[in-house]
Amino acid sequence: MYAHMKSEADAIARRLRELNSFEVPRAISSALNKTANKTRTQIAKAVKQETGVPAAAIKDRFYVRPSSPKKLNSRITVYPRDIPAISLGVAQTRLRVTRGRIKGGGSIRVGNRTFKNTFINEVRRNYTWHVLQRTQGTRYPIDVVKVRVSVAVEKHAKKIAHQIYDQDFQKTLVSELNYRISKYAKS
């Protein structure tokens, strides 16, 4: 009887050591990664609300370096570059026609935005299509039409990151630990 209880106690102690050395770092890593991805999504939603740019185009500017059980830190890197207008959706050309004649420069509608005196062309440097606009004279120079998102990203990023970490990290970590403990309890 005594030997049976001692072997059970040893088995429980071994499971707890395994749990502490293997599963706890995995749970922390998983909770960090879930929190980082949620932060990325929430920042993209907030910037979308302010600028009207699709969230997918904003999320392309965020990179999440995931955590691992050996390195328990995840990092969100933000590159708040301006987003080219062609990334906002499908481009439609709008021309001003009076008595069958085209008057003045046309406009391009992309997504829910309209850009006046613009045209669509392939940029020779990297062979991608962009919405272009003449900046001065009749021919050159021309610039790619862009939408600024850097101000909105800087405004929302830190605030949302701290808010989500304070609210959700502990809950996510507890649920991850419960899942992993229940896995060990079944075996």
Residue 23 CA to residue 21 CA, distance in Å, equals: 6
Query: b/e string for 63-82 if b means 16 or more Cβ within 10 A?
Result: ebeebeeeeeebebebebee
The one-letter code for the residue type at 91 is: A
Asked if residue 81 lies in contact with residue 150, where contact means CB atoms within 8 angstroms, the answer is: yes
Give the model's pLDDT for residue 41.
94
Q: Which residues of the chain have pLDDT under 70?
A: 1-6, 12, 16, 19, 95-105, 184-187
Give the model's pLDDT for residue 97.
67
Where helices occur in 2-63 by DSSP H, the ranges are 2-18, 24-51, 55-59
The tens digit of pLDDT for each residue in 63-88 reads: 999 999 999 899 999 888 888 888 88
Domain map of the chain by residue range? 2-82+149-186, 85-147
Q: Sign of the C-alpha dihedral, residues 46, 154, 108, 144?
A: negative
pTM tops 0.85: no
Give the model's pLDDT for residue 105.
64
Give the model's pLDDT for residue 12.
67
